[in-house]
Amino acid sequence: MESVPDPFRERRNDDGVLPCEFQGEVVPMILRHEDVRRAAKDWKTYSSDAPFRVPIPSEEDVRTMRQLPVETDPPDHTEYRDIVEPFFRRARDPEMIARVEALLEEMVQDALTRDSVEVVRHFALPVQSRALAYLLNVPESEADLWIGWGTHVFRDGGSKGADLEAYLHRRLDQAAAEPGADFFSALTQATFRGRPLTREEMMGFANLTFAGGRDTVIHSISHVIGYLGRHPEALEQLREDPRRIVNACEEFFRVLSPLTHIGRVCPVHTEVQGVPVPAGGRVSLCWASANVDEAAFEAPGEVRLDRKPNPHVAFGSGTHLCLGAAHARLILRSLLQTCVQRVSRITVIDAKEHLEVAAAYQRPVGFESLRVNWKPLSV
CB–CB of 61/50 below 8 Å? no
CB–CB of 214/327 below 8 Å? no
Return the DSSP state at 5.
P
In a domain, 56, yes or no: yes
Whether 155 shows a pLDDT value over 90: the answer reads: no
Q: Which domain holds residue 272?
A: 9-143+212-376
* Residue from 36, 337, 70 nearest 212 by CA: 70
Whether 66 shows a pLDDT value over 60: the answer reads: yes
In a domain, 125, yes or no: yes
**Cα→Cα distances 32→252, 286, 346, Å:** 20, 8, 35
In a domain, 164, yes or no: no
Please name every residue paired with 240 in a beta bridge, in sequence order, or none if there are none: none
Q: Where are the alpha helices (DSSP H) in 89-213?
A: 94-112, 119, 125-136, 142-147, 162-177, 183-189, 199-211
Q: What span, in angstroms and rounded, lies between the C-alpha atoms of 135 and 148? A: 19
Q: What's the confidence (pLDDT) of residue 281?
A: 96
In a domain, 173, yes or no: no
Q: What span, in angstroms and rounded, lies between the C-alpha atoms of 156 and 210? A: 13
* Residue from 219, 213, 313, 329 nearest 261 by CA: 313
Sign of CA dihedral 76, 80, 81, 83: positive
* Residue from 200, 165, 146 nearest 62 by CA: 165
Domain of 102, CATH number, reads 1.10.630.10
239-289 pLDDT, tens digit per residue, is 999 999 999 999 999 999 999 999 999 999 999 989 999 999 999 999 999
Strands 282-286 and 25-30: parallel
Residue type, 186: A
The SS3 assignment for 26 reads: strand
Average pLDDT over residues 362-370: 96
Q: What span, in angstroms and rounded, lies between the C-alpha atoms of 296 and 16? A: 14
Q: What span, in angstroms and rounded, lies between the C-alpha atoms of 69 and 84? A: 9
The SS3 assignment for 152 reads: coil
Whether 159 shows a pLDDT value over 80: the answer reads: no
CB–CB of 135/327 below 8 Å? yes
Whether 24 shows a pLDDT value over 60: the answer reads: yes
Strands 362-376 and 343-357: antiparallel
**Rg, Å, the chain Cα set:** 21
* Residue from 314, 259, 322, 272 nearest 42 by CA: 272
Residue type, 357: V
Q: What span, in angstroms and rounded, lies between the C-alpha atoms of 365 and 325? A: 18
In a domain, 340, yes or no: yes
The SS3 assignment for 48 reads: coil
In a domain, 205, yes or no: no
Q: What's the confidence (pLDDT) of residue 3?
A: 79
In a domain, 200, yes or no: no
Structural domains of the chain, count: 1
Q: How confident is the model at residue 160 (pLDDT cuts 50, 70, 90)?
A: low
> What's the number of CA atoms in the CB half-sphere (13 Å) around residue 199?
11
Q: How far apart are the first and last CA of the chain?
A: 28
Strands 17-22 and 25-30: antiparallel
Q: What's the confidence (pLDDT) of residue 137?
A: 97
Whether 339 shows a pLDDT value over 70: the answer reads: yes
pTM of structure: 0.97
In a domain, 161, yes or no: no
Q: What's the confidence (pLDDT) of residue 222?
A: 98
